[in-house]
Amino acid sequence: MSDVLELVDVSVVREGRALVDEVSWSVKEGERWVILGPNGAGKTTLLNIASSYLFPTTGTATILGDRLGSVDVFELRPRIGVAGMAVAEKLPRGQTVLETVLTAAYGMTAHWRERYEAVDEERALAFLDRLGMSEFLERRFGTLSEGERKRTMIARAMMTDPELLLLDEPAAGLDLGGREDLVRRLGRLARDPFAPSMVMVTHHVEEIAPGFSHVLMIRQGKVTAAGPVETELTSRNLSHCFGLPLVVEQRGERWTAQGLPLR
Ligand SMILES: Nc1ncnc2c1ncn2[C@@H]1O[C@H](COP(=O)(O)OP(=O)(O)OP(=O)(O)O)[C@@H](O)[C@H]1O
């Protein structure tokens, strides 16, 4: 298995502070990673490096075999699917759901062609169907609910047939039903052997879909644990990462975590 992502001693320093502090981490082909950590820990910063939008201050980042700094990022970016708020904010609110997904095939955010290739439209329709968005094809992106927007963004991220899929808090802001629906869909994607390698940022172990294989925990820019979910997603590691006593439990293929009551 080759490395999809390899960070060696990566730091990102802003205003004299290390937002990411000497992180070494590798993602191998086919792995599905969850990044967990408290607010401000550096999760999105890591994802921004993985998507080639942010370069390390020190250390080396190699994405899909190409080292950041010695590769044309415009050739690299179509190979990486990104779904998150930063991308969603760039998309025109007046564009339809179908157009929002289709424009990704051309590496754009806005509609400009009169006609798209039939093959692209078929792909967009198939991804939207898989994400449960078939009934919303002509709806304006800006009128979607949070959950509908998240599902559209994942369909969009899949359009370029990426080798690496990055999801930044895909379940944030969803109600219980919306979260569970998304977790089921992510679980199906995570288990699909033809799906890309995946990295998902989340705040909650409840959002880890079955099929996610690895977890990285980060606190104040430093990795506190990284490895297979079965061995690393422990009460001890989670407590250390979030800075308070937590009990993590596995029920079937899902996870829950609770703080211990105050005495
Ligand atoms: N350009 C910047 N200049 C200075 N500090 C920054 C900059 N960008 C981010 N930060 C800080 O870096 C830290 C890490 O931010 P990051 O967004 O990676 O955290 P996160 O783990 O994704 O947090 P959250 O869970 O709240 O989304 C935060 O304290 C943030 O305020």
State the pTM of this model. Answer: 0.92
On the question of pLDDT at 169 being above 60, the answer is yes
pLDDT tens-digit map of 12-44: 999 999 999 999 999 999 999 999 999 999 999
How far apart CA 141 and CA 162 sit, in angstroms, is 22
Pocket test for ligand 1, best of 35, 43, 199, 201 (most atoms within 8 A of CB): 43
> Cα–Cα–Cα angle for 213, 184, 133, nearest 5°?
130
Residue nearest to atom 27 of ligand 1 (CA): 39
Ligand 1 environment, Cβ below 6 A:
14-15, 19, 37, 39-45
Residue 55 Cα to ligand 1 midpoint, Å, equals 15
Q: How far apart are CA 259 and CA 263, in angstroms?
A: 12
Q: Does domain 3-259 have CATH number 3.40.630.10?
A: no
Q: What ipTM describes this predicted complex?
A: 0.96
Nearest Cα residue to atom 1 of ligand 1: 14
Tell me, in angstroms, the distance from the centre of ligand 1 to residue 244's CA.
Answer: 21
Lowest mean pLDDT among 2-11, 34-43, 100-109, 133-142: 100-109
Report the length, in residues, of the chain.
Answer: 263
- Give the residue whose CA is nearest to atom 28 of ligand 1: 40
Domain residue limits, the chain: 3-259
pLDDT at 115: 62
| Residue 129 or residue 1, greater confidence | 129
Segment 51-93, tens digit of pLDDT? 999 999 999 999 999 999 988 888 898 899 999 888 888 889 9
